[in-house]
Chains A and B, each alone.
Chain A
Amino acid sequence: MSIDTTKQSRRISRRTVLKAVGAAATTFSIPTVTRADAAGTIRIGFVSPTTGPLGVFGDADAFTLERIRALLGKGLENHGKTYNIEIIARDSQSDPNKASEFAGDLILNKGVHLMVPASTSDVINPVSDQCELNGVPSISSTAPWQSFVFPRGGSSDKPFAWTYHFFWGLEDALGTFVGLWNSFQTNKKVGMLFPSNTDGEAWGNRDYGLPPAVEKAGYTTVVPNKFQPRTNDFSAQIALYKQAGVDIVGGITTPTDLKTFITQCRQQNFTPKVVTVAAALLFPSGIEALGSLGEGMSTEVWWTPAFSFRSSLTGQNSAEIAAEWEAKTGKQWIQPLGYTHALWEVIIDILKRAENPLDRTSIRDAMKATKIQTLVGPVDFSSGPHPNISKTPIFGGQWVKGAKYPFDLKIVDNSLSKLVPTDGKLQPLHW
């Protein structure tokens, strides 16, 4: 009996735990209010995937958010008046339902004037839908514009009233792939690799995806049916490619599937001259996971430190921002970094120009009239393929052996946009 009681007392009671959790939650949720003698407080809702599988994107968002908060410490000037800025950040936990829930709360209970769904379709689409429904302006990036417009019921003659987005589109990514493959002589036979998920359905689509775009450029294609993500065996696809004698492999996969595929290619003695894959090779971690087999792989490029534009907020160029990230995190720069910075450039520009920055309609009208040169290129909604879209440039890149980190991403194709010069030409793979 006495043993039991001592055991009981050593345990942490439920109440203590709840108290600690509650205290921690309040500490984290205190919003940063920048105080000044101000005309009012502009509230910005910020939803980003800080935790969960999409956490890599959230890392860049959090890094930039911290710097923006410091920058806005003295408030924001608009037509001679100074306003406080309150940024209320929420973690979507990589869950679209959570993102939607937080958006509703931010709009209805916190009364935000402007919403920022930062990074990935899983945040952008549900949050933008809430904004459209409740009449709140929102601005986002880092998802191909088609996946922002079409799944949400938009079309070129049916614009959205409140939600705006800047990024490149599928057609640009496809054009970049073709540009890369035109770099040197091959037998013009392409083996395609698409998973059966949202990305794979779009990229592999026979009407507007990669296969018709590539065929139009004079290539022949071998398109095996779509595989399930996390497939453990690709020998069927490899056998098909070998049979057709393809020189080029292109498609979209996750890092895990690409590693399984490439390892098996080597085992099966299938050695294409070019492997160009979207998504999997976006982050340095993806290419590092491939080990030495990753050297020479090519991918689409949104942003690199080689971009020459300067930030309208800090005056820094891309290389300086990348260096700052590397010093702070100890990790190699990542592509979303440029976009999350550009997003804040656009936001602050809008709030400075708005007739009345405490009025949602007025902010929306300023957003519509945006014309600004950002870190990732010009943003201008009057010139896009859809009234709510502004297109930014995209390039073709190749991962080469790096100096400071295992691999460096080099821009090797700029056939679609001359805003950034190339740094050499695409080289064939060494197996």
Chain B
Amino acid sequence: MQWLDALIQGILLGGMYAQYALGMTLMFGVMRIVNIAHGDLMILLALVGISGSAMFGVGPFLVIVLLIPIGALLGWALQKGILNRVIGGDELPSLIATFGLSVALQNLMQQIWSADSRSLPGGGLESASVNVAGVYIGVLPLLVLATAVGLTGGLDAMLRFSPFGRALRAASVDSEAAAITGVNPRAVYATATAAAVAILGIAAVFQSLRATVSPADGPAQLIYAFEAVIIGGMGSVWGSFLGAIVLGIAQAIGFRADPGWGILMGHLVFLLVLAGRPQGLMSRNR
């Protein structure tokens, strides 16, 4: 019973990591841009959402509706203004640029919002739960997981079947060849980053409902997003979802063994996958 509970809590935790990992899988997995500011962008969106919610008195679902276009705009501007200038065969320039952006964003946010911890009032939603045969399942974590499944499915379908998805895959495999066939790689990248940051807007609302956010919090969750993408396999959308769930379960089981081991257990599973199956669980290319 104890372990069944741990397994369920682990899957729910994985749903949260999947939300962080989805934007990352587009940027890191498909476009090979290492975005160190991923976590900081989420915190920025969360703080904007919290301020917006207080200002206009709107609930969490309306905040999501508000944050998706803001996130998309932010992502588009990020790619157009910064990342498109440093993108190329080498991954190092984008890493350095986003590292600088991360530091700048943290300081900017602290100037505006101060170092206080903030959260989004959920009107009881965040603490509601249902009792299924003796195991309590939180409504909010369930919602997070369901949203993650929906987003993963949507993103995967978009990459597979839509003209934009084809263009993006083509551009990331060989941007010059793609350009010859009439694809503008930079425009495609801008749209992709817009989508990635828009997804972060959704993750931001859930994060500020279940915990708190403060300007320096960004990098802490970044590592889980990277791990999920790598466990699942670079470029595979369902892979990074699976990676996130694996990470969540590993942590939850670890916590039950010893509350100090959970996070370590997650890292160990990540290292194990890296050693045994470096291409990731669901990657097609070896």
- Which of A51, A232, A235 has the largest count of B CB atoms less than 10 A from its CB? A232
- Contact of A256 with B263 in the complex, beta carbons under 8 Å: no
- Contact of A233 with B260 in the complex, beta carbons under 8 Å: no
Task: Report the separation of the CA atoms of residues A196 and B220 in the bound assembly, to the nearest whole angstrom.
Answer: 16
A252-293 vs B, CB cutoff 8 Å, 1 = contact: the mask equals 001110011001101111000000000000010110111111
Restricting to A284-318, which residues have a CB under 8 Å from any CB of B? 285-286, 288-293
Interface residue from B2, B131, B212, B262 paired with A256 (Cβ < 8 Å): B212
For the complex formed, measure the closest distance between the CB of B94 and the CB atoms of chain A, giving whole angstroms: 21
- Contact of A228 with B260 in the complex, beta carbons under 8 Å: yes
**A228 cross-chain contacts in B, Cβ below 8 A:** 260, 262-263
State whether the Cβ of A161 lies closer than 8 Å to any Cβ in chain B: no
- Contact of A235 with B117 in the complex, beta carbons under 8 Å: no
B202-238 vs A, CB cutoff 8 Å, 1 = contact: the mask equals 0000000011111011001000000000000000000
**A292 cross-chain contacts in B, Cβ below 8 A:** 121, 124
Interface residue from B107, B137, B210, B216 paired with A260 (Cβ < 8 Å): B210
Interface residue from A235, A259, A267 paired with B128 (Cβ < 8 Å): A267
Task: Report the separation of the CA atoms of residues A63 and B107 in the bound assembly, to the nearest whole angstrom.
Answer: 21
Closest residue to A236 on the B side, CB-wise? B255
For the complex formed, measure the closest distance between the CB of B266 and the CB atoms of chain A, giving whole angstroms: 10
Closest residue to B124 on the A side, CB-wise? A292
State whether the Cβ of A154 lies closer than 8 Å to any Cβ in chain B: no
- Contact of A259 with B255 in the complex, beta carbons under 8 Å: no
State whether the Cβ of B122 lies closer than 8 Å to any Cβ in chain A: yes
Q: Given A233-B255, A256-B212, A256-B217, are A289 and B117 also a contact pair (CB < 8 Å)?
A: yes
28 residue pairs A–B, Cβ–Cβ below 8 Å: A52-B110, A56-B115, A59-B114, A224-B259, A227-B255, A227-B259, A227-B260, A227-B262, A231-B255, A233-B9, A233-B252, A233-B255, A235-B9, A235-B252, A236-B255, A236-B256, A237-B259, A239-B2, A254-B117, A256-B214, A256-B217, A259-B117, A259-B212, A263-B140, A267-B127, A267-B140, A269-B129, A291-B119
State whether the Cβ of A81 lies closer than 8 Å to any Cβ in chain B: no
State whether the Cβ of B5 lies closer than 8 Å to any Cβ in chain A: yes
- Contact of B260 with A268 in the complex, beta carbons under 8 Å: no
State whether the Cβ of B61 lies closer than 8 Å to any Cβ in chain A: no
**A255 cross-chain contacts in B, Cβ below 8 A:** 117, 212, 214
B102-118 vs A, CB cutoff 8 Å, 1 = contact: the mask equals 00000100100011111
For the complex formed, measure the closest distance between the CB of A132 and the CB atoms of chain B, giving whole angstroms: 29
State whether the Cβ of B193 lies closer than 8 Å to any Cβ in chain A: no
* A-B interface, 8 closest residue pairs, ranked by CB to CB distance from nearest: A266-B127, A267-B138, A285-B116, A236-B255, A255-B117, A267-B129, A55-B115, A289-B212
- Contact of A236 with B260 in the complex, beta carbons under 8 Å: no
Task: Report the separation of the CA atoms of residues A196 and B216 in the bound assembly, to the nearest whole angstrom.
Answer: 19
Task: Report the separation of the CA atoms of residues A54 and B126 in the bound assembly, to the nearest whole angstrom.
Answer: 28
State whether the Cβ of B6 lies closer than 8 Å to any Cβ in chain A: yes
For the complex formed, measure the closest distance between the CB of A254 and the CB atoms of chain B, giving whole angstroms: 8
State whether the Cβ of B251 lies closer than 8 Å to any Cβ in chain A: yes
- Contact of B255 with A235 in the complex, beta carbons under 8 Å: yes
- Contact of A264 with B138 in the complex, beta carbons under 8 Å: yes
**B216 cross-chain contacts in A, Cβ below 8 A:** 52-53
- Contact of A256 with B117 in the complex, beta carbons under 8 Å: yes
**A53 cross-chain contacts in B, Cβ below 8 A:** 115, 214, 216
State whether the Cβ of A188 lies closer than 8 Å to any Cβ in chain B: no
Task: Report the separation of the CA atoms of residues A291 and B116 in the bound assembly, to the nearest whole angstrom.
Answer: 14
B1-39 vs A, CB cutoff 8 Å, 1 = contact: the mask equals 010011001100100100000000000000000000000
